[in-house]
Amino acid sequence: MTVLVEQHISGLELNANFAEAKAWVEHAQMDSLIITSEGRLIGLLDAQFLFDTRFDQEFNRLEDYINAYPEEIEQGAYIRLHDHIFSAAEAFSHELNDHLPVVDHDHNYVGIRTRNDVLEELCEFLNMSQKGTVIDVLLPSDEPLISEIIRLVETEGIHVQTITVQQPNLEEEHRKLTIKFDSEEVSNAISTLERFGYTVYTPHRDLQRDIDFHERANELIRLLDL
């Protein structure tokens, strides 16, 4: 699967002045500025600050404004270049922005990803027509770290084909995460999840054919609020 990273939007360096910041917003057509220092991502700055007359009148450079108002910078909103699609989806689930910066392993800014691109990739990933072995994992909270569960599974060398969510019924307390693997030998993955405190069920092979994967895929997208 090809990961789409848009590279035509450059970061705005800290030494930019008011006119350069305004021109960047007009070119990028984004609600937040991507602030960089020598190519490394600093964070996001709401474009509304351009209406703050203090920037143009009291501060000559973007860096001066940020030093005076460091709380205006959002530093945790980004996606790593080789993040799993669920990590990217979770990043957007916590943000109102339709674009997020992408960084490499050295935290250098490399481009942006859009919410729509991530949603399309997620839908492609949730292709339920492939054959595979299925397990159910009970999610312990309202904000499950789905990417963490995938990471634990794939450390055992098993590839996750698809992953979906089922809402609890009246008799259940937790959501159920359904994972489909491309391998029939998944005992190591199950043992790893159980070692980290997850409750795992393996539906009977005859029942696996009857699982409504498409409804669970839709539930996952609703859970991530994409």
Q: What is the pLDDT along the chain (226 residues), one digit of tens a residue?
A: 445 577 788 999 999 998 899 999 999 989 899 999 999 999 999 998 888 777 767 888 899 999 999 999 998 899 998 887 778 888 888 888 889 999 999 999 999 999 888 877 776 666 555 566 788 888 766 555 777 888 888 888 888 877 777 666 555 667 778 888 877 788 888 899 898 888 888 764 434 444 444 555 555 555 555 5
Of the residues 121, 154, 178, the one at which a domain ends: 121
- The whole-angstrom separation of Cα 215 and Cα 1 is 23
- The whole-angstrom separation of Cα 205 and Cα 10 is 50
8 Å CB contact between 55 and 115: no
Q: In which domain, by residue range, is 215 found?
A: 126-224
The answer to whether residues 110 and 168 belong to one domain is no
The answer to whether residues 39 and 115 belong to one domain is yes
Is position 2 within any domain? Answer: no
Query: What three-state secondary structure class fits 37?
Result: strand
Query: Is the pTM value of this prediction over 0.75?
Result: no
8 Å CB contact between 217 and 126: yes
Q: Look up tokens 């027509």; give the residue.
A: 129
The answer to whether residues 87 and 152 belong to one domain is no
Is position 7 within any domain? Answer: no
CATH of the domain at 18: 3.10.580.10
Domain count, the chain: 2
Of the residues 121, 143, 174, the one at which a domain ends: 121
